[in-house]
Each structure stands twice: as C-alpha cells, then as structure tokens.
Chain A
Amino acid sequence: MMIEIRGVSKSFQGEKAIDGVSLTVKRGAIYGLLGSNGAGKTTLLKTLAGIYRPEEGTVTIGGQPVFEQPEVKRGVIFMPDIPYFFPQASLRTMAEFYRSVYPGWSDKRFKELEAVFKLDTRRKLSRFSKGMQRQASVWLALSCMPEVLIMDEPIDGLDPVMRRQIKNLLFQEVADRGLTVIISSHNLREIEDLCDHIGIMHHGRMLVERELDELKADTHKVQVALRDDRHATALAAKLQILHRETRGSVNLYIVKGDRARIEQTFRVYDPYVLDLLPLTLEEIFIYEMGDAGYDAQPILL
C-alpha cells in the first residue's frame, strides 16, 4: 500500500508540531524517519495511523484517507514508542482482543511466531521486561497481518540478537507480502541497515529524503594531492562537490556522481595521490545537510 502524505500540518496549543510535511512511501518499502527529539516524528506517525486528524493537508494509504476510516485502518498497525497493553493483560488476552478487532488476524501466524519469540503467553505483560514487552508488541502486530506497519522508535531496549531477528522478520514480511514499514528513530546508525529510504525531520519540517542505495552508490569521499592549486578550480567546474577541505597538501572532497567518472575526472590532472573511499551513511547526511545549511551533527546523533 502506498503511503502519501501531502502538506500535513498539526499544532498543539498554537505551536506547530509538524509543518507542511510531505512524504511518499512505496509499497514494500522500509522507510526510516529520522530526527531529534521534538522534531515531530511521533506526531507525523500518529497522524499517519489515524490517531490525530491532520489540520492541513492529506494523509492517504492506498489512495484512501486514514482518519476515522476503519476499512483503511484495518491494514495499519501503530506501535507506540513505549509498548502499551491493557492492565492485567497477558499475550493471550491481548491476542484475543486484536483477533476481534482486526479482521486480518492470523492465528497461524501467531503460532508460527511463538517459535521466534519464545515468550510465555499466559504471563501478565506488565511483568515482562521492557525488551520482552517490545517483542510482544511486534509479535501481536505481525499476527494482525498488516499491510502497513508504523513503528515509533522500535529498536530501543532490544538486545542485538533480538534486534537482528526482528529485522529479518520485517525483511521477510516485506519480501513475502509486500508489507510497508515506516520506522522512526533519533539515531541513524540504528536503522541504516534496515531502511531503504530515509527522511530527516527537523522542527516539524522534512529536511531531506533519500533512497539509501542510490545515496551510497552516489556519494564519494576523495582524498587527493593535486599538482597545482589551479586544478582545484577546474575540478569544481566539472564535478558536483558537496564539501571540500584542505589538510596540508591533501585535499578532501565529498563528491556526488558516478564513481568511475569521478575517478576519471581526477586522473586527468594526474594528482600525486588519489584515493576514493566509501562513506558512512552518517557522513553522507552530515555533508548533505551541511550543504543545505544545517548542522547535522546535533540533529542525527
């Protein structure tokens, strides 16, 4: 199901929590929503889940508006940042409740997942540890067989093994059923291996949206020692340079474009040294956003 958010705004007591945000997520994508605390991620996700009514703009899933539309919401599961279950409930009773509310609920899937999570379904959920509670909510969410899964800061509190397991489950769901996932986080490193798209929010606005594979293939760090300073000017005209700094005789470039073409362009000037290095996602965003006039460090980390 394609998610389309168009120019959505929402304010609380006169302060805009999100301001004209637009966003598109294709079916089967895993979209990572990044931003520091208070950037408006949760508000955006709750609006997407049909909990909040957008003040301006539209939120549609599969072409249908979400708010107060059970037919659409049936395929959407919202997982809050802190797992919440009914008081006194156990996994069994929660499962029974979800079964009665979500027509897509699958007992078969619930049973299958028991093998993955290995939690006691009769035990009170309030006695579970934070990590176990989060596993339980993933278990319940996936058993509803959603088409769209909205996860607000889901990685918090999971051990690495469980984290990988959940990641694999999500990949599997995406591959098998075309599940669309939208995940928020305040830490890029947590989700960079999970997402195929990334959007960065700041102060209620969407700063950048990128497809990761393209981004990784497209941006390069080049260390070069040029023979003549004038070459640098010539290079600037030929390449899309995001960033440049000089460390002694060595110049550091962050350049966008095709790797082979970039290497070729530099070779023309026959530099003393030429190294093309891979960039971490974090570095890419720092340079990209620096280019757009933002200091990315405090926003991402």
Chain B
Amino acid sequence: MTRSRFFFNGGIFRQNMRQHGWIGIMYTLGLLFAVPLQMLLSGSDERPPLEIDSLFDIAGNVQMLFILTLPVAAALFQFRYLQSKQPSDLWHSLPLRRERLLAGHMLSGGLLLLVPVWLTSVLAALLHSLDSNAFLYQAADVWIWCLSVSVITVFFYLFGVFVGICTGQTVLQGIVIYILLLLPAVLLLLINLHLNMYLYGYSDNFSRMGMIENWSPVYKLMDITVEPFSMTEIGIYAALSVVFGALSFVLYRKRQAEKTGYALAFTYFNPLFKAGVMLCAMLISGTYFASVQARQPGWVITGYVLGALIGYIAAEMIIRKSWHILTRRVPLEFALYAGLLGLAIWFPISDWNGYENRVPQSAKIEGVYIGDNYQMFGSDMAGEDRQFADEQALSQDKNYIEAVRKLHQAIVTARPGDGDNDRAQYYGTGSHYFNLAYKLESGRELLRTYWLPDAGFEAELKAVMEHEEFKRKQYRVFALNDEVESFRIGNGEKFIRISEPGEVAEFMDILRREILAMSYEDQTGGQIPRATIQTVPKPGVQSQIYYNFTYEWVESYHELDRWLEQKGYADKVRTLPQEVKSVEIFQDNYPGKLSSEQLYNLDVHLQLARSEKRTSITTDKTVIADILDHRRNYQGTNGAYVVIMEYTNGRSEYVSVEEKDATPAIKALLPLK
C-alpha cells in the first residue's frame, strides 16, 4: 500500500465533501463577504483608500464570527460519527485502520476549511493593486493574514477534533471546546480575584501584563481588530495544533467505539473533569459570596461549599447522564474532592512564604517605584505610550528607597483595609491606591498593591510624596520635554493655546518647578484645579501612539499664577465670578454626627443645614471670587465651609472651603456658631 493511499482515501474524501461541503461553502462566503467584498464595496470616489495595518481591520468582527464558529462546526459535524451509534458502527466496521480514518477525515476537513482562507487571500492579493480598493495595505499583510487565519483555523479545528475524541456526545463536545478555549483566561481571572481578595497586598500581575486575553484564542479573536496575532502567537498555535493533532491520533487508537453517547470517552478523564468543574464552581461561588458578604466567614465558607456541591453534582450528572446520582459512595467521594480542592484553594492564600509581610532589606533593593500606575511603565503592551515606556519606572535614589520601605513597613504592620473587599472607600478623598515595585539585587521583582487611608500614615506618606522621584512619576513630569509643541489650557468651558516657542519653554519650566515643589498637603488637600493643562505633541511625534498628558493649575502654584496673570491668560482660562450665578454656603459641623456612608454625601449635609436654617445664599462677587480661589473637594473636616455653586450655564456643583482659607467676606456671611 503506498503512502498516499494510506493517508488519503478517495471515498472518505468524497463522502466528506458530499456530507459536509456546506461548511466549506459557508466559510468561503463568510470570508469573501468580510474581506474582498468589503474592499470593493466600502470604497467611494470621494474618499481616499483607508490605510490599514492588518487585513483584520477589514470587518474584523465579521471575520471573527466565521473563524470562531466554522472550524468548530466542522469538527462537530465531521466527527459526529464518533458520538452516534449507527455511523460509528458503519465507519468502524470498514476495513480501514483508525489512523487512516482519522487522517482521511482530518485532511478533508482541513481542505474544507483552508481552501476558503486561501481563496480569500488570493483575491485580496489580486485586489491589492486595484485603484477602487477601499483599503490600502501591503502585499505582506496578505501573507500575514493568510498565515494567521490558516493557523488559527487549523488550531480550532484540530482542538475540536481532539475534544471530540475525548468526549462521547456532540453537544458536550461543542460546549467543552469553547469552555476549554476560554478556561485559561477565566481561570487566571478567577485566581487573580481570589488572591486579590485574600492575599494582603497582592498585586495583580496578569492584567498588568495585558495577558488575560492572550490566554484564550476566543478572547484574542474578539479583540482581533485591536491587536492582530503576533508571529510568536502564530507559532504557539501552530505548535499546539500539532500537539492536539498528534494526541488525537494516539487517543483515537485507544478510544472504544462503544463510548458513543457517554460524556467522556476515557474513564480516566472523569476525575479531572469532576475536579475542574468543581474548582471553577467553587471559585465563582466563593468569590461571589465573599464580595457580597465580605465580613462574614460563615457565608464565605458556605459559598465555597455550595460551589463545590453544585460543581460535583453537575459533573456527576453529566458523566452518568442521569440526575439519579445519589449512591452510598457519593458523599464520601464528594468530601474527598471538596477537601482536596479546598486545600488547593486555601494554600496560595495561606501566606506560606511570608508574602504579606515581606519588606525587602534596603541593601538588597536596586530600584523602587511607588505610584498609581506601575503598569504604564516599561511594558510593551499595545496602545501604551512610548513616553511612559521610555521613562524608567524605578528610582535608585537611596533616600527615596528608604522612604518607600518605611511606608511599606508601616502598611504591612498596620494592614489597613485587610479582609475588607469594599475597597471603593479607599478611592478618592483622604486615601491612596499604590502600586509598589521593588527591583531586587537578585534580579527579581517584588510587586504589591495597597489601598490605604492617609490617616495614620501621614509621616511616612509625607516622606515619600514630597520626594522629587515620586512627583516626577506620579505627575508625569517626565513628559514635559522637548516633544511638546504647545499647551492647551482651559476649564472645560473655554480654553487658550500657548504655542509661541519661547512662552512654551517658559511655561513648561514653571509648571515643572511648581509640580516638583508641591508639599504633601498640596497633594492631598483636594485642591480643585482652576484649569487643566494639556500637552500637544510636535507633528513628528504625533504619528506614534501618544497621550495628551494632562496637568493642573491649582491654587498652590503661585509662580504659575503670577505668570498667567502677567501674560493675561489667567482670566481666559479660569472660571470668573461673573460666570457664577449664586452660591449657597454653610459651615459644616456634621462629621462625627453622620454615618460613614453619609459623610461624603453632601446632599444630606445640605438638607440638614437647610432644615436648621444655617445656610446663606449670596450673589456677592467678592465672596464668589474668594470661593473660586480657595475651593477644594470636600475633605470631611469639621468646620469647613460647604458651598453649592450655581453657574450661569445652569450647572451646579459642591465645593468646600477650609476654615483656614476662609476670607473675612466668607465668614461675615454666616452667623457665628
């Protein structure tokens, strides 16, 4: 028997074409619609062709839809014969070895799926030089697209076949294919959530690397227009295809024909299946209960047990194809599984390696970062900013390292917010969210994330936040460089542009100085910016991905004040007293009297003050000007003035003025307490 005859049986091929040809036809039509047809249709004479980086940019979502479904459909329909008794008997009674059966089916399926891809590629290549083509792309883009789609198609198909050989029901096969394709990403996400919830200071490493979607081809395809496949990914999927293809051959030889209709074709997959379903159910249910009833260990444990029970019952029912699963063995087996999985879930959060309390010794630290945005620095995520990438996240300054270390030490000692999942209360006023990163001598990186209230950490925070290194990173001072062409300054209603090179340089200089000179109180006092300052990059820089960096003009920037006044820009960008219709003001003495939920709800404060007739309304421009100068976000301090401002454009907002900032004009408005 010759080699070609071994692998290729004309009868199998023709039968496949006859029976499953429609899949190929649909794939062809779908891809032709999504790619070449769009090239011809979406163009118009007036519009120049759209320049694209990848053919996935052409109706990527439509492409995705077909790529995601049809290869799997082919695996389901073609290998239906494994899951159904009658066709199984027929195919397996034929004088063909299983390798040959499988190879015949796989080759037919591969051709059914790849010919449409190649046909589409050929058309895209032919249309490349056509004038009326709506898109402009390189010939190489066609090759890359062809390669990417071919590989991912084959991967989906072969993975589907592999799952088909391992399962015994077509419906289950379909469900399991997609679940397994999503599982790595979902599991990572769940584990992340889990660690985040129970491991104090856990820093979410995976989403930092933008890795979650890369762990699932389904996720990846859904985002295909944002980021096409890299060559590495194509290589990985090609390798995985080979692995699953080879496994299919090995397992098919062992598969028993009588397994049609069973959930799993190999009994030794049953424990794995059960444990997998239970683990996912436990994580989902436990995390859910923990997020709803955070402070009640009883509820949380109930959540995990319930998840385990649901997972076990579901898996058992699927395996036995019956809901009558209760036997004498079941409770014992469930206890064993639940116990082992519980241990597996508990172990990583048991702090077995001192994760929570570890603060490296200063001698071993090479660099340090603290701030709210570590992930923006230095990773090569798509869509991120080059300026961030260029800036070194870590600082080598010894004093700074020591200051950060001390803060870290204080945090792990006091453990603010430990066991409290409602971290929202640590956002905003009077609290901080910090990423902490150390680069250690050993080359390793130590990452932590904390939400902490400022209260109790003032000294440590001050040492860190007043350091130049902190401000440089946190307030993006590094982006005030010669790539800035001009500044756009405004308060949302009106704006000006500073673009004269001399002025730009002068302004930038002052702004940099002002930011670096901010005290701890300036940074945490909730100052409301008078205007925001946006950078506009030079034209050459613009073609790259570039954020328009935003800075603020706040009360504490006295030098900037003077410069803007002097240039006559100040009034053109800040809110003027005549733009305010009226203000209603009262002195707030509610902190301590209200519950913590109501403390920051100023509507409640206002109603109380009104009911006590302690508010006063004015349209006096001096008062308004004073308020505009000193306004801050409400800080929850006793004795501060709370103001509701009505603007002439109909907008209104709450601001507050600290007692120390209150001018005599403001004080005069209100009756003495």
The size class of the interface chain B forms with chain A is: 20 to 34
Closest to A53 in B: B256
Partner of B14, one of A73, A74, A97: A97
Closest to A152 in B: B89
Partner of A97, one of B11, B88, B93, B258: B11
The reply to whether B18 and A73 contact each other, CB–CB distance below 8 Å, is no
The reply to whether B92 and A96 contact each other, CB–CB distance below 8 Å, is no
Secondary structure of the B side of the interface?
helix
Which residues does chain A contribute within 8 Å of B19, judged by CB atoms?
Answer: 86-88
- A77 vs B97: C-alpha distance in the bound complex, in angstroms? 15
Which residues does chain B contribute within 8 Å of A87, judged by CB atoms?
Answer: 19
The reply to whether A73 and B93 contact each other, CB–CB distance below 8 Å, is yes
Question: Contacts A52-B258, A82-B86 given: A101-B93 contact, CB under 8 Å?
Answer: no
- A80 vs B93: C-alpha distance in the bound complex, in angstroms? 10
Partner of A96, one of B14, B95, B97, B256: B14
A12 within 8 A of B: yes
The reply to whether B89 and A84 contact each other, CB–CB distance below 8 Å, is yes
The reply to whether B96 and A70 contact each other, CB–CB distance below 8 Å, is yes
Which residues does chain A contribute within 8 Å of B258, judged by CB atoms?
Answer: 12, 46, 52
B129 within 8 A of A: no
The number of inter-chain residue pairs (CB within 8 angstroms) is: 70
The size class of the interface chain A forms with chain B is: 20 to 34
B9 within 8 A of A: yes
A68 within 8 A of B: yes
B234 within 8 A of A: no
- Chain A residues 223-260 with CB under 8 Å of chain B are none
The reply to whether A97 and B92 contact each other, CB–CB distance below 8 Å, is no
Which residues does chain A contribute within 8 Å of B9, judged by CB atoms?
Answer: 100-101
Interface string of A58-102 (1 = CB under 8 A from B): 000000000010111110111010101011110001001111111
B297 within 8 A of A: no
B15 within 8 A of A: yes
Partner of A80, one of B10, B90, B256: B90
Minimal beta-carbon separation of A70 from chain B (angstroms): 4
The reply to whether A78 and B89 contact each other, CB–CB distance below 8 Å, is yes
- A71 vs B14: C-alpha distance in the bound complex, in angstroms? 23
- Chain B residues 1-36 with CB under 8 Å of chain A are 9-12, 14-15, 18-19
Which residues does chain B contribute within 8 Å of A99, judged by CB atoms?
Answer: 11
Minimal beta-carbon separation of A205 from chain B (angstroms): 19
- A86 vs B87: C-alpha distance in the bound complex, in angstroms? 8
Interface string of B81-108 (1 = CB under 8 A from A): 0000011111011111110100000000
- A101 vs B8: C-alpha distance in the bound complex, in angstroms? 11
Closest to B88 in A: A51
Interface string of B304-339 (1 = CB under 8 A from A): 000000000000000000000000000000000000
The reply to whether A84 and B87 contact each other, CB–CB distance below 8 Å, is yes
Which residues does chain A contribute within 8 Å of B87, judged by CB atoms?
Answer: 84, 86
Minimal beta-carbon separation of B650 from chain A (angstroms): 69
Given contacts A77-B93, A96-B11, 9 further A-B contacts (CB under 8 A): A52-B258, A70-B96, A70-B100, A73-B93, A73-B95, A74-B95, A76-B93, A82-B86, A100-B9
